[in-house]
Chains A and B, each alone.
Chain A
Amino acid sequence: GQQLNQSPQSMFIQEGEDVSMNCTSSSIFNTWLWYKQEPGEGPVLLIALYKAGELTSNGRLTAQFGITRKDSFLNISASIPSDVGIYFCAGRRTGNQFYFGTGTSLTVIP
């Protein structure tokens, strides 16, 4: 089945550092979503992107819908300990099925 490739798989960073992660696919997507999942919880939506080139922010988080429509990027500025979790991208082509990435695990060291 369709799977999105996320990188990096895991990150260990110092508090205050900026974080960048990305999601790529061999297929074109019409919608990109970014979710955060904390241990024992379901994914929580962070940012939704609907147009190629779109750049959207949510507090310290900024996500971009890649121009090729085959990728998306998430940046977190000035990381804090509560940013810890697994970040998932999800993409939708035509139709109503979303495909999820394998996740980027983020650890923030105080």
Chain B
Amino acid sequence: NAGVTQTPKFQVLKTGQSMTLQCAQDMNHNSMYWYRQDPGMGLRLIYYSASEGTTDKGEVPNGYNVSRLNKREFSLRLESAAPSQTSVYFCASSESDMETQYFGPGTRLLVL
């Protein structure tokens, strides 16, 4: 099993550009999550999907949208990137929304 995979690993954007971060898991987990990690801030939840067909806002949702494409895939979209969105983005999944989360390797995003 690959676990949680994320693409791309690195991305550089100019302010105003859009992009989609992809995440997939092969553990048949119901719940999936997107976090951002900034220096000295720990991980902060952007959006999550408790089950296929549902999505909810987390702590820092502004400037982002998500799509739970199917049970395996959960994408994060930046419609108009801003320098404040420079961060490392982690996707995670868990068997249910009450269970331990398993993380992907991260996507490093730089917005100029």
Contacts and interface: CB of A to CB of B under 8 A. Distances in A.
Given A1-B59, A96-B48, A96-B97, 12 more contacts: A1-B44, A33-B100, A42-B4, A42-B90, A42-B105, A43-B43, A92-B98, A96-B31, A100-B44, A101-B42, A102-B40, A102-B41
Contacts of A4: 42
Contacts of A35: 103
Interface string A86-104: 0010101000111011110
Interface string B79-112: 0000000000010100001101111111000000
B103 A42 contact: yes
B45 interface: yes
Contacts of A27: none
Contacts, number: 52
Given A41-B106, A42-B104, A100 B31 contact: no
A3 interface: yes
Interface of A: 1-4, 33, 35, 40-45, 48, 88, 90, 92, 96-98, 100-103
**Most A-side CB within 10 Å, residue of B31, B50, B100:** B100
A33 B102 CA distance: 11
Contacts of B42: 3-4, 88, 100-103
A90 B41 CA distance: 13
Contact of A45 (B41, B59, B100, B104): B100
Nearest to A95: B97
Contacts of A98: 45, 101
A1 B45 CA distance: 10
Contacts of A44: 103
